[in-house]
Amino acid sequence: MNLNDLNQRAGKYKDRKRVGRGHAAGGGKTAGRGMNGAKSRSGWKRKRGFEGGQTPLFQRLPKRGFSNVRFQVCYDIINVGDLNQLPADVTSVNLEFLAENGLIKKRHSRLKVLGGGELGRKMVVEANRFSKTAREQIEKLGGEANTV
């Protein structure tokens, strides 16, 4: 036997232990799951925030104060540079048009145009909000930034 006859992979990969296949296989009876309890049974899944029966933290903390989540105003956002992806014959753009052409996903009912990128042509854009730079870029090319 010589060194060049040795297989370098020998012993590198160990077969996984097949549990639950009887005592002779080395992982029989409880198959590494311990004795009783929910974890030992099939289909068990810990709920998010479960603390072993102890009252979870989110229930122990006081619920006080005001949260703006229900009242906040959300916008679908697009940069002026992304408007260049539209066909050349398009001169007017609004929220519905952008959603139909796949430039935005219409998650909210309002549109805000931001000033990222460079606008390449004159265009009439209708949106609920414009950033200062976006409005400047649109009007610099002779287009209109109409607030809906």
Cβ proximity of 64 and 96 under 8 Å:
no
> How many domains are contained in the chain?
1
pTM given for the model = 0.57
Q: Would 6 be classed as within a structural domain? A: no
Give the mean pLDDT of 22-42.
89
Per-residue pLDDT at 28: 86
Position 4 pLDDT exceeds 80: no
Backbone angles phi, psi at 97, to 5 degrees: -65, -45
Q: Would 119 be classed as within a structural domain? A: yes
Q: Would 98 be classed as within a structural domain? A: yes
114-137, pLDDT tens digit by residue? 999 999 899 999 999 999 999 999
Per-residue pLDDT at 17: 86
Residue 97: give its domain's CATH number: 3.100.10.10
Q: Would 16 be classed as within a structural domain? A: no
| Nearest alpha-carbon partner for 103 in 78, 137, 138, 127 | 78
Per-residue pLDDT at 96: 93
Domain that holds residue 90: 76-147
Residues 6+ apart with CB under 8 A from 24: none
